[in-house]
Structure 1
């Protein structure tokens, strides 16, 4: 028999055998699925939007939603990480999910879990501290009150469904009495802050304005420690010690001056108000700003 014909016949037989193996495998798979002996959709995923038991989950800054899958599986929020990854990949809005804390439920379908992370209503509110904010509430013209930082933290932790509502009074007490090193107050500010005793305003100016993700499961001291530690790092990153030395001030005096400028100066007049403050400190004389009284 011609050698070329033999080789052609062998290749054809190999293709036929491979096709039969694939066909048999498909038949077996379908049969197993029908008989309930293999992994079904129900084996990989819960059904519905959850069991009503709320759980708090965090997407840390710098991480992606896909990294959350293993934790969700371990905590019983979704049934399998693979189902969650598939649901995230199939949802075009999954890429818009932001870092923060979210309230989910146990035993959610993977698609429902992804959708809950997209819904801003399930995200724990950010703590938004504006420039010039004070620790305590301030009464303003007209009889209105401007919430202080402690009241803002309380509002963020006391949202609907929260099991750890922290009162502003608890934060004020911690701020006035807790050990300064434990709270994360920078070393260059501790002596000046300690000299104020248990003044409820003694931490004034030590929390940098900005938006913060607050873990609503923390207690009052843990929240303040987190905010003060992060703020201290930001202050140190600006070179505040060297900048203060160049002005013949302590870092705490420079911080106080900067805080007063932020509260007192209209836009565009920061340099003028700063010069007034520095001149009065150099005299020395009382600053006599409204914010130093209120």
Structure 2
């Protein structure tokens, strides 16, 4: 309780600031203070989204003085006292709006990034500019191809390529190999180009029966040999420049090559080096199949790629240092396989293999037209007396034993027949049916009868 005769202490509002002569632009005129008992109907609204809830929050502790302690307090004594001016919270308000904008931008950016991450993609426009040599590997999916194209700068994103190719069934049939593309292509342009056959380069197909040198047919047409096929596969135009290597370049590379460095099997190096011509040393050592030749590779690189792949293929076909024909070396077995390929159809491979082994066993000349025609670059046809009397290491009418090298590219079936000949006593054979099948005989009389049968059937 206050002492008698003394007024209770009054909590006074702070005095107004001194009056300034010049106008103050950031001051709001003071309003008359409302009676404490009831709220003022003209209480100012919150000043903006980020303004303080109560500008007089600093006076909230006013209520700690109980009303009954100051019932003698004269509220009217200060009714005319001006209210202190209120400053606008401009600094806080500006910071609040900047923060709000930053949040909105971040949210919008995140939403855009998320949308594009899930649904959108980048894409170039047009058909592109400079040439790009692009490789599709075996087993690549459309998505994998798209990702590689994006990495190579061909398309802006893998999705651009995948989306453009969704309705193109040709895209699912794209094979491994090299393709000439353009940089900065739209997804649709990239799909159109890679599915166009002309865009694929470096494709080399070597078939069984083929030899390294070209063969001239009776009608004058030329069947390309391995040298010509490799030269053709090396060709492409990259930014206006040719990558072609000639057959002569490849021939010279074989002539000068170290066979071991090229990847020739150890069992073939010594006998192959005994060939009558150095450029024939790889005959029979290139396996049939599809190869991808990188345009721009030199002759040595191309040969090395083919030889190493072929060495593996020949071994997979069943020929190795531990797996050979009866009493034959691996290289001799390969020579026999090449003769089988040129002389017979597949159904007769096993029997013809046995004929060769039986003749070798009794030291009988092989007398194969295919070996005579090999150095003459002719197909396997009947030979003339002049041809059969021509001397040389491939004339099996004049020489006993096997020729110096294989005479063609043998298939896996021919290799298997050479390793595992069919059991039998045949020594003679002759084509006796128009479909290429042969008749086999044990004696010479059998052979004469088969020849007469072939003549009756109009085979020759």
TM-score (norm 2): 0.51
Listed one character per residue, the Cα deviations across residues 116-173 of structure 1 (whole Å, up to 9, x for unaligned) are 1122221126312121100011223233322101101112222555631010111111
Which is bigger in relative contact order (C-alpha 8 A, separation at least 6)? 1
- Higher helix residue share: 1
Cα pair 1:133 1:148 within 8 Å, conserved? yes
Q: In 2, distance between residues paired with 1:159 and 1:250?
A: 41
The residue aligned with 1:194 is 273
| 1:243 to 2:323 alignment | yes
Inter-partner Cα distance in structure 2 for 1:190 and 1:285 = 27
Alignment match, 2:40? none
Deviation of 1:197 (Å):
6.7
Q: Between 273-282 and 104-113, report the one with greater CA deviation.
A: 273-282
Q: Is 1:257 aligned to 2:336, yes or no?
A: yes
What is the CA–CA distance in structure 2 between the aligned matches of 1:93 and 1:270, rounded to whole Å? 38
1:115 aligns with 2:115: no
Deviation at 1:285? 5.1
- Asked if the contact 2:236–2:242 (Cα under 8 Å) also holds between the matched residues in 1, the reply is no
**Closer, same or farther: CA 109–279 of 1 in aligned 2, 3 Å:** same
Whether 1:48 and 2:126 are equivalent positions in the alignment is yes
Q: Distance in 2 between matches of 1:147 and 1:201?
A: 16
Question: Are the counterparts in 1 of residues 122 and 157 from structure 2 also a CA contact under 8 Å?
Answer: yes
Checking the alignment, whether the CA contact within 8 Å between 2:236 and 2:243 is kept in structure 1 is: no
Change in CA separation of 1:182 and 1:111 when aligned onto 2, cut-off 3 Å: same
Determine if contact 2:202/2:294 at 8 Å carries over to the other structure: no
Deviation for aligned residue 1:229: 0.9
Instruction: Mark the runs of 5 or more structure 1 residues left unpaired by the alignment.
Output: 1-23, 33-37
Residue 62 of structure 1, CA deviation: 1.8
Secondary structure of the structure 2 residue equivalent to 1:280: helix
Query: Aligned-pair distance for 1:257?
Result: 0.4
Deviations 1:40-71 (A, max 9, x none): xxx922101111x2111111112223213343
Q: Which residue of 2 aligns with 1:101?
A: 178
Is 2:292 the partner of 1:213?
yes
Name the counterpart of 1:141. Answer: 218
C-alpha distance in 2, partners of 1:177/1:282?
36
CA contact (8 A) 2:245 2:298 kept: yes
Equivalence for 1:269: 348
For residue 48 of structure 1, give the secondary structure of its aligned residue in structure 2: coil
Distance 2:285 2:310 in 1: 7
Structure 1 position 180 matched with structure 2 position 259: yes
SS for the counterpart of 1:104 is: strand
Structure 1 Cα separation of the partners of residues 361 and 332 of structure 2: 11
Unpaired segments ≥5 residues, structure 2 = 1-103, 375-460
Aligned residue pairs total: 261
| Bigger CA radius of gyration | 2
Cα distance between partner residues in 1 of 2:230 and 2:244: 10
Kindly report the root-mean-square deviation, in angstroms, between the aligned alpha carbons of the 2 structures. Answer: 3.0
Task: Give the equivalent residue in structure 2 for 1:152.
Answer: 229
Offset at 1:187? 1.3
Give the 3 Å change call, closer, same or farther, for CA 190–283 of structure 1 in structure 2: farther
Evaluate the alpha carbon distance shift between residue 165 and residue 278 of structure 1 in structure 2; reply closer, same or farther with a 3 A threshold: same
